[in-house]
Amino acid sequence: MQSHSDTISTLCIVALTVVFSLGAISNTHAGDPTHGWLKGTYQRGYESRFERSVPANDGAVALWAAVKWSLFQEMSTGAVASKDGWLFTAEEFSEPGETRDLREELARVGKILAKYGISLVPVIVPDKARMHEHHLARGRSEKFASRYDRALSSIKAAGLVGVDLRDALSFPDSFKRTDTHWSPEGARRAALEIAAVVSIYDFPHTNVTTVETGSVLFEGDLIAFVPTGQFRARVGPPREYIKTFETSVTPAGDLFQEVTIPVALVGTSFSAKQEFHFEGFLKQALQADVLNASSVGQGPFVPMDTFLDEISKLSSLPSVVVWEIPERFLSSQR
């Protein structure tokens, strides 16, 4: 019965597509068709007319997205579709619009933190397209090949100890298939790698426990670029689930002792979004409490600016600041 229903629904999609396509084709003025196809003007004209032919409502938008996805694996501008249903942000295929010189920023931030006796540990999160290059339908520009190594060199040149996460994230599910970010397991392994470096510094420890609590349906942030809506179950992209976790921290010392949080985490949505549980995994790996000063949608530099502006207001200072910086925010030229 379900198969019969799916067949009818699919035929309806096809029928509606044909109706809109006929209007688009009949009104596509490309001059000589052969010339138009060779130059790509006919296809662009067809798509433009099709989009204008589709009524402007959510159902029609979902229909057009379903057609583009099912026939061409095509997404809206801002994301890139690849093999096996894997989606990637287009930001990993181009230079960042606005960025800062990493070496200069590391020197500036490190100098300010040093005045407070705080050590800085920069962490560069490699691109999803780097770690899952085998899923890409097309390769990236060669200029991105050495960007990660260049970032590590900048960290070393600033006299800092950095963390190379490439080995830790070299496994099949290190990133979510329909999302820009790492999976909880990727976050957990990254936290272990970071903790191995941060442990060289002296800071108080406490008891931290993390437990898995189940799994829930997960809507990756890249699904917004292929809004197939009610047609998704039939045409994709396939849905995925994400495991959930809870972390509990047992405060060190007695009730009357001042609470000290020895590690601060400053970064982007990789650190701020709760569904990936990176903060909890970092606490678990360090066996220490962590102050999370990360934020979503501001890149890696603005949250650090904010943290430095407010550091004097903290009741107690951390011993270490972990600065999480996604590779895609860095220029490949410096």
Q: Give the torsion sign (CA, 64, 65, 70, 72).
A: positive
250 φ, ψ (degrees, to nearest 5): -95, 115
Output the six-digit token pair for 147: 């960007």
Q: Which among 9, 6, 7 has a CA at the least distance from the CA of 63?
A: 9
CA 270-275-280 angle, 5° bins: 75
Q: Which band of pLDDT confidence, cut at 50, 70 and 90, is reported for residue 292?
A: very high
Predicted TM-score (pTM) of the model is 0.81
Domain boundaries, the chain: 1-92, 102-329
| Alpha-carbon torsion (110, 116, 118, 124), positive or negative | negative
Inter-residue long-range contacts of 166-173, CB under 8 Å, 24+ positions, other chains counted? 166/126, 166/130, 166/131, 167/193, 168/192, 168/193, 169/126, 169/131, 170/131
Higher pLDDT, 49 or 69: 69
- Confidence at residue 25, expressed as pLDDT on a 0 to 100 scale: 42
Residue 253's pLDDT is what?
A: 58
| Higher-scoring residue by pLDDT: 166, 11 | 166
Longest Cα–Cα distance in the chain: 84
Task: Count the Cβ atoms, other than its own, within 10 Å of residue 248.
Answer: 12
The answer to whether the CB of 216 falls within 8 A of the CB of 82 is no
